């Protein structure tokens, strides 16, 4: 049976962006901490993949293979995590992605991988010892957590997660109104915003006084399931797992 592509997300800082050289160093994986999908990544897990398939690793926007803002040019790691150095192209999406990094709309990175060697620890945590690195992506706020949590549709959403999603939608709308990014990018982002607002409004109510989302617990599973399907549609991939 073919192993599925899986995904993990991590925050990165815009100080790693050099507009003059159109390059960014992205920390796409963090080591030695248990993530939201109960996995732990280990130093050295990319080594074989980087040696054998370095030229085949892609650089995407929101894990979308039709949205390539540039190319991955180098990979390395330290004790803290693994890094992808990318070049942002001079084409429209490359320029728009630079704008989104500078304006704080793109603040997370993720990597797609196939797990090759794993180990289950005593506490049930899956230890990733070797993976095939497929691609590195930069992510809009709407693709960051809590969307990563929807892979486990049995999990109840926490109030903070829903507030985070609502705030992300508000920030993305503000960005689209004020940015000098291209019309194509704005349309792409607005489509994501409307899709996620539609799903959110079906299962949760916003109270003006509390400025927070009040979850209906009986709808958690349905909400997670629909958001999961929406995420799959946006990523344009089959089976996956985010963290």
Domain chopping of the chain, boundaries: 7-143, 147-235
Average pLDDT over residues 139-149: 58
pLDDT at 69 over 50: yes
* Cβ pair 230, 195 in contact under 8 A: yes
Select the more confidently predicted residue: 177 or 235: 177
Task: Report which of 60, 200, 238, 223 is spatially closest to residue 135, judged by C-alpha positions.
Answer: 60
Tens digit of pLDDT for each residue in 24-44? 999 999 999 888 778 999 999
Please state, rounded to an integer, the average pLDDT across all residues of the chain: 80
What is the pTM for the complete model shown?
0.77
Q: Which residues are within 8 A (CB) of 174 and not within 5 positions of it... i.e. 6 or more apart? A: none
> What is the structure's pLDDT at 37?
76
Element of type H or E holding 70: strand 70-77
Residue 72: alpha-carbon gap to chain centroid: 17
- Which residue matches tokens 């732990």? 40
For 80, phi then psi, to 5°, come to: -85, -40
The pLDDT tens digits for 74-91 are: 999 999 999 999 999 999
Side-chain half-sphere exposure of 74, counting CA atoms within 13 A: 7
Residue 114 token pair: 């196939």
Q: Is the pLDDT of residue 180 over 50?
A: yes
215 pLDDT above the threshold of 90: no
**pLDDT above 80 (res 243):** no
Nearest by Cα to 173 from 149, 221, 199, 140: 140
Ramachandran assignment for 198, one of left (phi > 0), alpha (psi -120 to 50 degrees), beta (any other): alpha
In this structure, the dihedral spanned by the alpha carbons of residues 49, 46, 109 and 19, taken in order and rounded to 10 degrees, is -70
Least trusted range by pLDDT, from 19-23, 82-86, 168-172: 168-172
């Amino acid at each position: 049976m073919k192993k599925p592509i899986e995904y993990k997300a991590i925050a990165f800082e815009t100080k790693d962006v050099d507009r003059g050289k159109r390059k960014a160093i992205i920390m796409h994986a963090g080591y030695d901490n248990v993530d939201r999908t109960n996995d732990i990544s280990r130093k050295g897990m990319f080594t074989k993949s980087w040696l054998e398939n370095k030229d085949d690793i892609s650089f995407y926007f929101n894990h979308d293979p039709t949205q390539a803002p540039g190319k991955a040019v180098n990979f390395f790691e330290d004790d803290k995590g693994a890094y992808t150095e990318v070049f942002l192209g001079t084409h429209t999406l490359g320029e728009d992605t630079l704008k989104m990094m500078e304006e704080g709309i793109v603040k997370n990175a993720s990597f797609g991988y196939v797990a090759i060697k794993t180990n289950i620890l005593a506490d049930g945590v899956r230890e990733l010892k070797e993976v095939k690195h497929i691609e590195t992506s930069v992510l809009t706020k709407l693709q960051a957590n809590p969307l990563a949590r929807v892979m486990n549709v049995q999990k109840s959403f926490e109030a903070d997660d829903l507030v985070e999603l609502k705030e992300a939608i508000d920030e993305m709308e503000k960005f689209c109104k004020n940015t000098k990014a291209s019309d194509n990018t704005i349309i792409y982002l607005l489509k994501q915003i409307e899709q996620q607002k539609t799903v959110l409004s079906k299962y949760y109510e916003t109270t003006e006084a509390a400025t927070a989302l009040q979850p209906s617990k009986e709808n958690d599973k349905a909400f997670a399931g629909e958001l999961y399907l929406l995420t799959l549609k946006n990523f344009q991939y089959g089976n996956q797992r985010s963290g």
